[in-house]
């Protein structure tokens, strides 16, 4: 049975999440889109998930309660050997230290600046989910 393609959006900005979900759904490039406004809830979902399907996770950096970097630290502890996900930092941050940190983070596959476009989505799906 072929693996289902899934994108997980983690961003505290409801409008950004909704627009990104709309772009992804209209693209018909993936089977499923999940949205989380809180990184902790996304971690809980990933922690309890039994599926072996890989996900492309689009993660914002600047969020209240648990930011993107804190999410990454917990994600790595989760069960790294079982996770097949690819994490892309999708952020409005232009802080050079964030870019450097993302490049050095083993769990981060890429760093992209908002907004998500169809072209960016197509490129990410081609590279990480095909």
Share of the chain above pLDDT 90, in %: 71
pTM of the model: 0.93
Average of pLDDT values for 98-103?
92
pLDDT attached to residue 101? 92
Long-range contacts of 18-27 (CB under 8 A, 24+ apart): 19/115, 19/116, 20/58, 20/90, 20/116, 23/116, 23/117, 23/118, 23/121, 24/116, 24/121, 26/118, 27/118, 27/121, 27/122, 27/125
Give pLDDT tens digits for 42-93. Answer: 999 988 887 777 889 999 999 999 999 999 999 988 766 456 789 999 999 8
| Residue corresponding to tokens 């960016």 | 120
pLDDT tops 90 at residue 33: yes
pLDDT tops 90 at residue 114: yes
pLDDT tops 90 at residue 39: yes
Q: Which domains are present in the chain?
A: 6-128 (3.40.50.2300)
Q: Using CA atoms, how far apart are residues 67 and 88, in angstroms rounded to an integer? A: 14
């Amino acid at each position: 049975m072929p693996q289902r393609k899934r994108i997980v959006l983690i961003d505290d900005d409801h409008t950004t999440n909704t627009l990104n979900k709309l772009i992804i759904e209209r693209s018909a490039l993936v089977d499923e889109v999940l949205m989380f406004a809180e990184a902790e809830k996304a971690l809980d979902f990933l922690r309890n998930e039994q599926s072996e399907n890989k996900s492309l996770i689009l993660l914002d950096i600047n969020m209240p309660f648990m930011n993107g970097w804190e999410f990454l630290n917990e994600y790595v502890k989760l069960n790294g050997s079982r996770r097949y996900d690819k994490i892309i930092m999708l952020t409005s941050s232009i802080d050079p230290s964030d870019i450097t940190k993302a490049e050095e983070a083993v769990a981060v596959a890429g760093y992209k600046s908002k907004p998500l476009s169809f072209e960016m989505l197509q490129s990410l799906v081609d590279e990480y989910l095909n």
